Chain A
Amino acid sequence: RAAQGRAYGNLGNSHYLLGNFPKAVAFHKQRLAIAKEFGDKAAEKRAHSNLGNAHIFLGRFDVAAEYFRKALQLSRQLKDQAVEAQCCYSLGNTYTLLQDYEKAIDYHLKHLAIAQELGDRVGEGRACWSLEDAYMSLGNREQALYFAEKHLEISQEVGDQD
């Protein structure tokens, strides 16, 4: 049964990479059910993240946000800060797609704080870029400029010319 769970997860990921998102969702839901059966929180977290990702490409941003929120909750239970940062980043972007910029900013600031704590400059740069866009969407040019400058500084430091 445990191996069956892993197989479902792998099938879900394969379909996802092929762009077959409805099939990916179906397999990841099976994976999630088996993870719950075993009380395997790490696998449950993975299934939620994968389901969130697939729903982004299905255009179901509201559903994606729910899966990412659950993944965030589990990453906190698992005390995995890198994963927590990843979940916050996904939530920030998803709320931007939902045009809820205040919530997007809230999650991007959480992502930024963890990236700073972990010394992840690339993550910090991404967070600044996202905050720059979210503040611009809100018409807050002063804050947007602040994060644009930080983004530029970090991009130069990490050699990201793009």
Chain B
Amino acid sequence: VQRMHLIQVDSVQRWMEDLKLMTDCE
């Protein structure tokens, strides 16, 4: 249910796309 919900929110979807490549590096 949580995963389905995020598809409906564009701004969150965009954030998650960016997040995939985002690491807090050493």
Give me the interface of A with B, judged by CB distance under 8 Å. Answer: 6, 9-10, 13, 16-17, 43, 45-46, 49-50, 53, 56-57, 59, 61, 89-90, 93, 96-99, 126, 129-130, 132-133, 137
Contact = CB atoms under 8 A, between A and B. Distances in A.
Nearest to B19: A53
Nearest to A129: B11
Contacts of B23: 13, 16-17, 50, 53
B12 A96 contact: yes
Contacts of A45: 24
Interface size grouping (class) on chain B:
10 to 19
Contact of A97 (B5, B10, B14): B5
Given A17-B21, A49-B24, A59 B3 contact: yes
Contacts, number: 60
A56 B16 CA distance: 8
Given A59-B2, A97-B5, A133-B10, A89 B25 contact: no
* 6 pairs of A and B residues whose beta carbons are closest in the complex: A13-B23, A46-B24, A9-B26, A6-B26, A129-B11, A49-B24
A137 B9 CA distance: 9
A132 B9 CA distance: 10
13 contacts: A9-B26, A13-B23, A13-B24, A17-B23, A50-B24, A56-B16, A59-B2, A93-B16, A99-B5, A130-B12, A133-B9, A133-B10, A133-B12
Contacts of B2: 59, 61, 97-98
A46 B9 CA distance: 27
A16 B23 CA distance: 8
Contacts of A43: 26
A7 B10 CA distance: 35
A89 B10 CA distance: 15
